[in-house]
Amino acid sequence: KVVLFNPPFLSPRPRLLVTGQALSTGDRLLIRNSDDTADGPDNEGFTLYIYDAVGDPVEATFDYDAVGYGALQ
């Protein structure tokens, strides 16, 4: 899932907290930047992958909180 911040943050890497809902033991989250080229969020957003314990993709609901400063105009 791709999440884009509107407007993008001025700070290059906002702090990000992601919580998966109703995940099973062993499920894991992988957070990449908005264009999926590097680990972690960037000022424009993030891409989230959720995998089960054996590495298969999982569809799940999630919540996130992003904290940064400024907004690109």
Neighbours of 19 (CB within 10 A): 11
Which helix (DSSP H) or strand (DSSP E) does residue 4 occupy? Answer: strand 2-4
Is the pTM of the predicted complex or chain greater than 0.75? yes
Least Cα distance to 34 among 72, 61, 2, 70 occurs for: 2
Q: For position 64, what pLDDT does the model report?
A: 97
Residue 12 has pLDDT above 90, yes or no: no
